[in-house]
Structure 1
């Protein structure tokens, strides 16, 4: 338990991964926290996420890792295969290396399991954290002494600081900085989960496996101790309207996008019950995340493409740094400015890296992946070394 003093009352808008991690981090340093979530119940559409060691260490410090591990999957390696033939481009050991080199495991988890672990953590002994569902925040106002949010119910809630962890369509960011102009990347992702028992010989390998090809790619990995397969399959499109995680497509549409691909990819798409498609939009890094006693966190301030698998982990890191900056000061605005200044360069670098990977994955010509094949064969340690800045980061 890290409680050091009574710091005041923190309001957190959004009970997603970033918002609940922020509530826990603040609660463990003495803050009374109220989380305001617009949904009637906290839940997540079935999907997986990859948690790299930099995020896993924070979850351990927040006291939720032990509750998450029983449902997590430990991938043996990271690998790249050609999307149609399945031939290896490279395979690089990950399981033991992650713990030895970066001090924590690399995990695959179901989003719902991570949310459950975080939510359970907010009820921990000695923590003063309240999660209020059905609470849609419309706006905020602040004075030098505090900040107040207005809910669509007409109710007003006041605190010492406000954390906007309300996602890509953040109301808090909108008021702070005005409307943003996301750019459609030309990529649309299919998301499905399928029980392993349905896939027979087409079951994906027990790795973080990237399948690459001309104008499209796919990622397969396992969840819930290996019992469930998660597939994200990305295809290029000329235009798209709307930015949603929950839009549904059809099995036929998904299979048409990956016609002729390896049976592991096509069988997984065919056996899925529900096919969600997600248009990928990109944004430039924000110059400012803080406004007096109000700060942004996670997707509200640095939404990123999924091609480095760092979206959730960056939000978890944000939470730890935010609480640390607030821990030993009564000057909330100054602490929030310090938090934003500390996080902006790192998250901007991750955003840029994810953008570059999205271009690399769609090179098409098999010979274009020859340098990566050589890297895997001749210098696998170089692959690990190139990730030290990312996975080796230790949030305070």
Structure 2
């Protein structure tokens, strides 16, 4: 790869930050990642990598890693909460790959992060660097870190998550809205659930005031689950607070035995509050921009959070590679390309909070009838606009 001579600092060493760094490195940029933690690691458990993201990761050389630890699900399987009746079954696996050219994977977040970390040269990742401020000098950006370390780069990218310091430096504090939903998450060794004979699918159980998702990860060794329910008494937005299994089981009293068996096999669960955010009007200022959850955090009801962050990095690299010397305009072009797409997915994710949780009755029956026609989100035709997208293809309209 040829060198552009342009230096890029990426604040944040999560999936979004490392995938962006890798896209930028492949495009010839001098990239360094600054992560506040003392070691790279991912909270959370499973993540969906749909074809719009896997096409990027394959191009970056991660196809073998994804195939080794990821699981290719046969379908999205949406089911009724009490009797397990199928509401919608959307094919994945071979039909999806044949249509869109790349696979869909279910993968443990830590496995994906490890694959990305191994692909980025170690000397380009700087741990223990907590951003405390930044200054855009017009021709370069100065990033300041706790302890006195500083870095000067041509471009600074904030990939530092929902509590982004870069976003706060650019646009001030945000005001996320608590949705009234909390989520339990966790992992169960698959052999504990052998009697269930679980399909290799991503199963989404819909019920009054709550839903439940489970799927296999880590080469089918673990079952990842997320249980999302309406509750107004928990507001802390953290992925690392301990949950009580007894509370989770009580919340799913009367649900299908498969759901309750999975919850009953859990050793440890974590709980967090779900917050909604209005799409941002701007992501960029001068030579600084944002990426991933820092600018478009979305509820986990479309399974696109990580995929959209991976897309961001590919589009950003393509825009900068085509920019010449006009870096600020390239960053604005990047957000012009990305913002409508991510805002649409944010809206769809928020709408699913209501649609997934309808109480039994006329609206629920109308929803189920519509799902039976295979025209709702996650049906094969409805996700085409998501999965067929190539984020690395940009039109240099700003010239």
TM-score (norm: length of structure 1): 0.94
Deviations 1:212-255 (A, max 9, x none): 11101001111112121011001101243221011111111111
Specify the SS of the correspondent of 2:73. coil
Distance 2:329 2:55 in 1: 27
Secondary structure, in 3 states, of the residue corresponding to 1:35? strand
Which has the larger displacement, 192-201 or 215-224? 192-201
Return the alpha-carbon distance in structure 2 between the equivalents of residues 337 and 308 of structure 1: 26
Give every structure 1 segment of 4 or more consecutive aligned residues whose post-TM-superposition deviation is greater than 6 Å: none
Q: Which residue of 2 aligns with 1:384?
A: 380
Among 274, 282, 301, the residue aligned to 1:288 = 282
Q: Deviation per CA, 1:87-133: give whole Å up to 9, x if none.
A: 2222232212211222211110000010011111113xxxx961011
Which residue is equivalent to 2:126?
132
68-77 or 199-208: which moved more? 199-208
SS across alignment from 1:289: coil
What root-mean-square deviation, in Å, do the aligned CA atoms of Structure 1 and Structure 2 show? 1.8
Aligned equivalent of 2:194: 200
Q: CA deviation at 1:256?
A: 1.2
Paired residues, what number?
390
Matched residue of 2:95: which SS? helix
The question of 1:360 aligning with 2:355 is answered: yes
For the residue of structure 2 that corresponds to 1:324, the secondary structure is helix
The corresponding residue for 1:86 is: 84
Change (3 A) 1:381 1:305: closer
The residue that corresponds to 1:347 in the other structure is 342
Written as runs of structure 1 = structure 2, the 5 A alignment for 1:1-396 is 3-123=1-121, 130-202=124-196, 204-328=198-322, 329-365=324-360, 368-371=363-366, 373-374=368-369, 379=374, 383-395=379-391, 396=393
Unaligned runs of 5+ in 2: 394-399
How far the C-alpha of 1:381 sits from its partner, in A, is 11
Return the alpha-carbon distance in structure 1 between the equivalents of residues 239 and 197 of structure 2.
Answer: 25
CA deviations over 1:288-332 (Å, ceiling 9, x no partner):
100101000000000000100000000000000000001031221
SS at match of 2:241: coil
| Distance in 1 between residues matched to 2:229 and 2:376, nearest whole Å | 31
Deviates more, 1:137-146 or 1:376-385: 376-385
- Residue by residue over 1:271-290, the C-alpha shift from the partner in whole angstroms, topping out at 9 and shown as x without a partner, is 11211011100000000100
The Cα of 1:199 is off from its aligned counterpart by: 1.5
Instruction: Report the Cα distance in structure 2 between the residues aligned to 1:7 and 1:310, rounded to whole angstroms.
Output: 33
Paired residue secondary structure (1:199): helix
User: Which stretch of the first structure deviates more once superposed, 289-298 or 37-46?
Assistant: 37-46
Distance 1:381 1:234, change over 3 A: closer
Give TM-score scaled by structure 2 length: 0.94
Q: Distance in 2 between matches of 1:336 and 1:294?
A: 8
SS at match of 1:354: helix
CA contact (8 A) 1:91 1:376 kept: no
- Mapped partners of 1:264, 1:36: distance in 2: 43
| 1:32-66 superposed Cα distances (whole Å, 9 cap, x missing partner) | 11100011111123500111110111111222222
Query: Is 2:284–2:335's contact at 8 Å kept on the other side of the alignment?
Result: yes
Alpha-carbon deviations, 1:119-160, whole Å to 9, x = none? 11113xxxx961011110111001121001111111111111
